[in-house]
Amino acid sequence: MFIGHFAPAFVAAAVSPRSPRLGTLFVAAQLVDWGFFTLALIGVEKLRVDPAASVMVPLDLYHMPYTHSLIGAGIWALAFLIVVALAQRNLFAGLLAGLVVLSHWGLDWLVHVPDLTLDGEPPKFGLGLWNYPLVAIPLELAVTGGAFAFYVRRTRGPIGPPLVLLAVMLVLQAINWFAPHPQEAGAFLYLQALLAFAILTALAVWVGENRWFQKRCGLAFGEV
């Protein structure tokens, strides 16, 4: 899953005037993948190209105990919770950010073939929807689109920036799904992933600075 990971960020950004800004929550949504591809660059976590790994994603994610184990993801979530809570002096914002980080593992469980763990050791988990494109693709689009609509309805501001963000997300997702698959794992692949995260996060910062939380009574509040 790629853009589907940002669905919890959209929802969390729109639930309360005390929510973190959208850019912060976009970092939270992909924090464990920021960690994974950074650790892969230095050889701590590992993947390899294997066309037989799944129908949609020809990557064997065979060693990622620090980011994609449930305990590992929980540690990343707790660390981000503390950072956001202290930076914003807002425990509620920290809790939301931490939950968005932790949501990554659950969303990955839906699509990954069994390569996720509880503590870095077998057994491995994954529902394997990457082997069923006619299920995985509509699911990711529906989850993302629904969360985006919730965010737009619950916030107030110019519609242009959110639509630009959504358009770029869809373009990057289309590249992820339909572009030629990589021939080998390596620094170029890892840096491509990190660049995609950076582009979307920068756009989310822009969107968050131009939209405000809106209560049902119609009053708008600046984001905290």
Instruction: Tell me the domain boundaries of the chain.
Output: 3-221
User: pLDDT band at residue 215, thresholds of 50, 70 and 90?
Assistant: low
pLDDT in tens, 137-192: 999 999 999 999 999 999 999 999 999 999 999 999 999 999 998 999 999 999 99
Percentage of the chain lying above the pLDDT 90 cut:
93
Closest CA to 96 of 108, 85, 110: 85
Distances (CA, A) of 209 to 85, 196, 203, 222: 19, 20, 10, 9
pTM of the model: 0.94
Residue 219: the pLDDT is 42
**How far is residue 96's CA from residue 107's CA, in Å, rounded to a whole number?**
16
User: Which of 192, 135, 193, 141 is CA-nearest to residue 166?
Assistant: 141
DSSP string, 176-189: HHHSPPPSS-SHHH
